[in-house]
Structure 1
C-alpha cells in the first residue's frame, strides 16, 4: 500500500496537496453507505444534526458527513456523488482550492463542503461570478441542504435589504462576489446597529476561484455618494476625433499608450485657443491637458464592441477575462465621462467615493478561505502568495480522452480566419458540434458573418446577448451545432453531447442525451476551436476543458497568427524569417515559440499588476481597519459618548441635564460616525489625487511611485482619527437643545449624500489605462521645454 501511494504521488502535479488522506476518508464513507441507505429521511436529517453537535472535526465525523451528503444528494437530486466529488468536498473542508475538471460536479462538491462547514457552526458565503449562478446553485442544491438540516439563502443585484438580511441569516449564503462586497461597504457606513444586514462570516467558499481570486483580485468595489462633479466637455471628444494618427498623435501598441505629437499639440492649441492663443503645457492649463489626453485615450485606445458596448443608451464595459458585460462596472469618472462623450451619450451619475474595497481584501477578511475551479495549478503561485491557499488536484471520475491538437500558426490574421471557417465546415459536415472561442465581441461577430457567407448556421454568444448564455451553452453539444462564443471562463454550464438534457444538471451523459449523445460521440464529440491564444494559458485550458467531459470523446485546437494582438502587443520585437505555405500555415518552431513567449510575457505583466495592486491596497486596508475599529466602538458601544464627555465635559453635562443621557449619547454617536465617514471619504479623495500626481512626479524624477506614495499616504492616514475627533468635539459643542424639542441635530450639519450607489472600477492602481495616457505628458512636456 505504501508503495502504491508513493507511485500515486509521483503522477500527481508537483506542488499539489496529497490526496491520500482524503481517499481513506472516502473509503470509510463507502463502507457506511449500506447503513446510511436504510435510514429514513427524518433519521438522515437527525444524523446530520448530531454531527453539528460534534463539530465535524474528527475523521469519523468527516466520513459520516460524506456518507450522509452522498445519500442526501441521491435522494433529492437523483445523483450519487462520485468518489472524486467527495475528495473535492474534503479538500474544500481542509481549506484548499479543489481543481476539478469541467463536468466533474464541482457545484455539488461545493454544496456538501458548505454544509460541512455549517455543521461546524460556521457561517458560509459561497461566492460566484454572477447573479444567475448564485440563484441557480442555491435553489438547485436547496433540497440537499434541507435534508442535512442546513439553511440556505442567496443575494443578487435586485435583492431588497430585507431579503439580504434574511439570506445572510442562513447557514449558507450564495451570492456574486460583487454583491457580497457591496453589502459589506454599505454596512461599514451604517448609522444604526439595526441597519447592518451582513453578520460577520467565517468561511468564503469561492466558485471559479482562479477567476475571482486572480482575474478579479485587483478590481475595486466602490460605494459612491451623490456629488456635483462636472461631466466631460464634449468639445474634447469632437476635437480628438478630428486628429490624424501619425501626424497629431502616436500610439505605442506594447504599452497601450497614446500621446500628442508636437504637431498635435499645436493643433489642439489652435482649436482651443482661438485668437487669444493657448500654451497647452503651461502650469495653469494642466486640467485642459489632462482632459485632452483622457479624451484621446477614449477615442484611440478604447474600442466599441471590444472594450465596451453601447446598450440602452449607456456604456457597458466588457470583462476581458469573461467576455461578457461587466455588470455595475465603470472606469474612473474622468475616463468614463470621456467615453460617454465620445459616444454622444448622456453622462452617467458621478459622485464622491465614500468607501471601497478590492476583491482580494474582501476575501482576505474571511478566517477560512477555500475554492474550486477547473484550472488552479496555473496560478498556484498567486493563490499561495496572496491567499495562503494550496491546490488539491482532483482526478476526473473517468479518464479524459480529449484529443488536444498542436496549435496551427498562420502568417496573417486573414489566412487564419479562412482556415478556421474551413475547419468548422469540415467538422459540421460530419455532424460534429463545434464550439469556437473568440477574443472579443467584434471578432465573434466577424467570424459569424464569415460563417453565414459560407452557408453555415451558427449561434453567437457574446456580451451582447449574455443573458441567454445558459440556454445557448446547453445546446452547444447538439448534433451539427456551431456555437461562436467569447471567453468561456466562469460561464458555469456544462456542455453535454447531444444537447441539453430534460433531466437535472449532473445526470450521467448516457441518461441525459440518449441516442443523440451516442450519435455525437460517434462523430468525434465536441470540437473546441480557439481563434487565438488568450493572454493567460489558464484561459486556454478553460476553453479546452469544455470538450471531453466525463470521459466523452472530444477535441481541441487553437488557430493563431503572427498578427494576433497577443503577439503584436507583448512580443513586438521578436522577429522571424519564417516562410509560410501557400495557405499561410507556418510550421517553423521558432515562430511557434514567439507565440508562447508573448503569452508568458502577458502572464508576467498581469502578475506584476496584481502585486502592485496588493502593495498599494495593503496600506489603504490597514488605515481603513483603524478607522473601522473606532467606528465599530461608536456604533455598537458608548465610545462616542465617552469621547464627547471627555472632550467637551461642560457642554455634555449641560445637554444631558436638558435632553437626557440617552439623547445625548445618540447625538454623540451620530456626530462621531459622520465625522469618521467624512474624514475617510476625504482621505480616499486625497489618495486618488496623490496617486495621479505621484506618477507624474516620480516618473519625471526616476523614483519608485509606490515608495513615493507611501511616504505621503502614511502621515496622512495618521491624521484621520485625530482630525475626526477634533471635528466631532467642535460639532458637539455647537449642539443646542430645549426641553420641548430635545437636541437639534439638524443644526449640526450632518448632511450625508442624498443618494448612494455601488459599482466596480475597471482600474489598476499603478497601471490603469487612463494613467498610461497621462504618462505621455512627461515626455511631451520635456520635448516642449527643450
Structure 2
C-alpha cells in the first residue's frame, strides 16, 4: 500500500507540474493596479507585512520599481517566475527572458519579508555585474545589496554579507563558510546564519557541481611530483603495455606492461603498494587526461577545464596525487599541497539554507534530481513570445572524418549568406582544430574557449552580428544574451530576414541539458533562428556508452538517415546521464553520515566559541587544576585559555577524522569482494570512529589543560595552528573511486540489458 502511495505521489508530482494558475491570477490582478502604483511618489514600503510579499500589490510595486530604476517593465511571465521562486521552486525560463531581473525581484521579495538573501552565482564576474546592475532597483525599494569576489578582504566580505542581498560565486560563499569554521574569535566570523539561497544556473550548481568539494587546507608545502613515473609511462604503448576501459574510465597494465615497469624500477610491484599507486596515477594522467580537453597549461600551471561550462575552473584541482601526476606529465613543478582542515561539497553548502530557490534555462531535465536531493519542484515558465527557432534533426555520419568534412561545408555554406553562425564544440582542443581548419578555407572565426574566457562578454555580444562566425566551447553560464545585429535595430532586421542566428553543435554532450543550452542561444524572445547537431559513430558518447551497438548503414551521400541511428544516439545520452546520476547518488549516500557528524561537531564547536562550554567542560573534568589556575591567572584568563584548548583539539581531531574517512571510503569497495555492502561497511566504521573522536577531543583537552602554563603562549605548548590557510576546489577525480568505476560498468550493462 505504501508503494502505491509513493507511486501516486510521483505521478501527481511529475517534473514541471507546478501549477502556474494561482501565480498568473495574481499577476493579472497586478495589471489592474499598475496605473495607481505608477502614481505613487515613494515605492518603499513604510512597514512591510510579510504576507504582502506575493500579492498583486507587491507585483505592481516591483514592476514599477524596475521600470523607474532600470528602464525595464517586467513581462507578466517574469512576475510569474518571481512568485514561483518566492514559493521555493526552481523556475525554468528560456534564454533571453530576463532571468537576472527575475532573480533581483525575487531577492527583494524575500528581503522585504525579513530574510537575508544570498544570490548564488557561477562566477565572480556575474556576481559583481548583477549586484551593480540591479543595485538601483534595491535602492528604490529601500534595500541594500552587495557582492563578494575572490579579491575581497575580510572586512569587505563582512560588509557585503551584512546587506539585505549578497551576490557571491558559489565557491567564494563556500570558502567563507569553511574559514568561519576554524575561527577562534567570534569577532573574526564573516558569514551570517543561512536564510535564503537564490541560485542562478540552478541545474549547473545544484546538479552538475553538487559533488565538488570545497577545501580549506593548512600548512601548505610544495607538492611532490613524480617525474620518473611520468617518464616511465610515456614509454608505454596502449594495447601492448596497458588497456583502457572507456566506459569505466579506467586503465590497466597488461602482464607485459607489469613486467616492463618492474624491470624499469627493479622491484616486484605488488610488494610495494605505494609504488603501485604512483604508477597508476601516472598512467591515468598519461592515458586518460588530455591536454586542452580536461585541462590547459597556462602561465606554467595546470588549469582544469569545467566540462559543463567549457571554461577554466578557477581554483580547482584534482586530488593531490592525481594533480601532481598531471604536473609531472607536463614537466611542471608540483603545486603546493597541504593538510585538509575541512571540506564541504556544494550540495551540502546549499542544503544548509532553510529556503532554496533558483532559476535556469534547463531545469526540467534534472527535475527528479532537484526533488531527490533538495526537495525542490520545477515551475516551467512559458516564454514571453513563442519560440520560432527551427531545430533540425541530428545529422549522423559513420566516421569522425566524414562528420568533420560535413561540418566545415555546413559552416562555410551558412556563413556565405551573411547569417551569423555559432558553432558549439565539446572541448578546447576541438575548438582550436576547427579554428585552424576554417582558416584554411579562408574564414576568420572568433574563438571563445577556456583559454580566453576573460573576453567572453565582448565576443558573445558580437556573435549575432551579420556575418559573425563564432566558435565556442560550452555556452552554459555565460551570462550574456546574443542579440541579433549586436543590438543595432537596423542590422537586427537584416539578420532576422536571413533567418537569425544559426547554431551548429559539433556533437552531442553527455548531458542533454548542455545541448539545450547551446540550442537555446538562438531564437531568444521570439527571434528567428535555427539549430542542428552533427554526430558521428566515432564520437566519445557512442563509443563509451553504446560500445556494443553499431550505426545502420549510411545513405549514398554519406549521411545515416535510418531512424534507428537517432534512437541509438539518444540511448547513449540517457546511459551517460544515468551513470552520472548513479555516481551522484553514491556520493551522497557516503556524504550523509559525514554531514550529520559535521553538523553535530559544529554545534559543539559553536557552544565553545560563543560561550563558556569549553571552560565548563574542563572545570568539571579537571576541578583541582581549574581552581589552581584561577587562583594564579584569574578567571577570565583561564576561561579564555580553556576555550582555545578545546577549540584546537576539536579542529585537530576533526581533521584527522576526515583523513580517516577519506582513506576508508577509497578502500571500502574491496569489501564487496566478500559479498558485503560497501556503504553499510562504511557506516559501520564511520559511526564508532566519530564516537572515538569525541572521546579523543576530551582526552587531549584534559591532558593539555593539566600541563598548560598560562603565562606562556599556548602555541608554544603544542597548540600551534597553521601559519596560513588556503582554499581550493577539488574537482571530482574524473575516474571516480574504484567503487565509482564499478558502478559505471554495472550501470552501463544494466542500461544496455533493458533495451
TM-score bracket, shorter-length normalisation: over 0.9
Compared CA separation, residues 727 and 159, structure 1 to 2 (3 A): same
Compared CA separation, residues 487 and 770, structure 1 to 2 (3 A): farther
Distance in 2, matches of 1:454 and 1:692, equals: 50
Aligned to 1:444: 431
Matched ranges for 1:43-54 at <5 A: 43-45=42-44, 48-50=45-47, 52=48, 54=49
Aligned to 1:39: 40
RMSD: 1.9
Distance in 1, matches of 2:577 and 2:71, equals: 42
Contact 1:294 / 1:770 at 8 angstroms: preserved in 2? no
Structure 2 stretches of 5 or more lacking a match? 1-10, 746-755
Aligned to 2:620: 646
1:222 counterpart (209, 215, 218): 215
Distance in 2, matches of 1:374 and 1:774, equals: 30
Contact 1:435 / 1:476 at 8 angstroms: preserved in 2? yes
Distance in 1, matches of 2:464 and 2:221, equals: 52
**Is 1:280–2:254 an aligned residue pair?**
no
Distance in 1, matches of 2:510 and 2:743, equals: 25
**Is 1:569–2:544 an aligned residue pair?**
yes
Aligned to 2:341: 354
Distance in 2, matches of 1:29 and 1:680, equals: 53
Q: Secondary structure at the match of 2:485?
A: coil
Aligned to 1:655: 629
Shift of 1:765: 10
Matched ranges for 1:295-314 at <5 A: 295-314=282-301
Contact 2:15 / 2:368 at 8 angstroms: preserved in 1? no
Shift of 1:466: 0.7
Distance in 2, matches of 1:775 and 1:260, equals: 20
Contact 1:325 / 1:464 at 8 angstroms: preserved in 2? yes
Contact 2:303 / 2:313 at 8 angstroms: preserved in 1? yes
Aligned to 2:714: 745
Matched ranges for 1:193-592 at <5 A: 193-228=186-221, 231-273=224-266, 278-282=267-271, 285-499=272-486, 501=487, 513-576=488-551, 578-592=552-566
**Is 1:721–2:694 an aligned residue pair?**
yes
Superposed CA deviations along residues 208-259 of structure 1, whole A, max 9, x for unmatched, are 0000000011111111112557612211011001112111111111211101
Q: Secondary structure at the match of 2:97?
A: coil
Superposed CA deviations along residues 419-459 of structure 1, whole A, max 9, x for unmatched, are 11111111111111011111000111111111111111110
Compared CA separation, residues 318 and 492, structure 1 to 2 (3 A): same
Distance in 1, matches of 2:700 and 2:221, equals: 24
**Is 1:733–2:706 an aligned residue pair?**
yes
Contact 1:409 / 1:559 at 8 angstroms: preserved in 2? yes
Structure 1 stretches of 5 or more lacking a match? 1-9, 502-512, 777-786
Contact 1:259 / 1:773 at 8 angstroms: preserved in 2? no
Q: Secondary structure at the match of 2:197?
A: strand
Shift of 1:328: 0.6
Q: Secondary structure at the match of 2:728?
A: strand
Compared CA separation, residues 86 and 773, structure 1 to 2 (3 A): closer
Shift of 1:262: 0.8
Distance in 2, matches of 1:364 and 1:775, equals: 27
Aligned to 1:784: none
Distance in 2, matches of 1:315 and 1:596, equals: 34
Contact 2:537 / 2:550 at 8 angstroms: preserved in 1? no
Compared CA separation, residues 14 and 654, structure 1 to 2 (3 A): closer
Shift of 1:581: 3.1
Compared CA separation, residues 183 and 176, structure 1 to 2 (3 A): same
Distance in 2, matches of 1:734 and 1:766, equals: 48
Distance in 1, matches of 2:561 and 2:743, equals: 41
Contact 1:182 / 1:758 at 8 angstroms: preserved in 2? yes
Aligned to 1:669: 643
Q: Secondary structure at the match of 1:44?
A: coil
Compared CA separation, residues 14 and 185, structure 1 to 2 (3 A): closer
Aligned to 1:755: 724
Shift of 1:767: 2.6
Distance in 2, matches of 1:150 and 1:775, equals: 49
TM-score, normalised to structure 2's length? 0.95
Contact 1:609 / 1:766 at 8 angstroms: preserved in 2? no
Q: Secondary structure at the match of 2:252?
A: strand
Contact 2:508 / 2:533 at 8 angstroms: preserved in 1? yes
Distance in 2, matches of 1:149 and 1:414, equals: 60
Aligned to 2:678: 705
**Is 1:598–2:572 an aligned residue pair?**
yes
Q: Secondary structure at the match of 2:312?
A: coil
Contact 1:13 / 1:393 at 8 angstroms: preserved in 2? no
Q: Secondary structure at the match of 2:658?
A: helix
Contact 1:488 / 1:542 at 8 angstroms: preserved in 2? yes
Superposed CA deviations along residues 325-364 of structure 1, whole A, max 9, x for unmatched, are 1011100000000001111111111111100111111110
Superposed CA deviations along residues 156-215 of structure 1, whole A, max 9, x for unmatched, are 111110110000000000001111011000001110000100011200000000000000
Distance in 1, matches of 2:390 and 2:293, equals: 31
Matched ranges for 1:66-215 at <5 A: 66-215=59-208
Superposed CA deviations along residues 538-569 of structure 1, whole A, max 9, x for unmatched, are 11111111100000000111111111000001
Distance in 1, matches of 2:213 and 2:161, equals: 23
Which deviates further from its counterpart, 766-775 or 138-147?
766-775
Distance in 1, matches of 2:52 and 2:121, equals: 29
Q: Secondary structure at the match of 2:423?
A: strand
Contact 1:438 / 1:487 at 8 angstroms: preserved in 2? yes
Compared CA separation, residues 69 and 216, structure 1 to 2 (3 A): same
Aligned to 2:753: none
Aligned to 2:18: 17
Contact 1:663 / 1:743 at 8 angstroms: preserved in 2? no
Aligned to 2:31: 30
Contact 1:405 / 1:555 at 8 angstroms: preserved in 2? yes
Distance in 2, matches of 1:655 and 1:537, equals: 66
Contact 1:667 / 1:743 at 8 angstroms: preserved in 2? no
Distance in 2, matches of 1:436 and 1:290, equals: 41
Distance in 2, matches of 1:98 and 1:692, equals: 37
Aligned to 1:508: none
Q: Secondary structure at the match of 1:184?
A: helix
Distance in 2, matches of 1:74 and 1:378, equals: 33
Aligned to 2:609: 635
Superposed CA deviations along residues 579-631 of structure 1, whole A, max 9, x for unmatched, are 22344211111222111110000010011011011111111101111111110
Superposed CA deviations along residues 731-767 of structure 1, whole A, max 9, x for unmatched, are 1111124xxxx45423431111112111111116993
Distance in 2, matches of 1:281 and 1:773, equals: 22
Contact 1:676 / 1:724 at 8 angstroms: preserved in 2? yes
TM-score, normalised to structure 1's length? 0.91
Aligned to 1:509: none
Distance in 2, matches of 1:540 and 1:87, equals: 26
Matched residue pairs, number? Answer: 734
Contact 1:436 / 1:529 at 8 angstroms: preserved in 2? yes
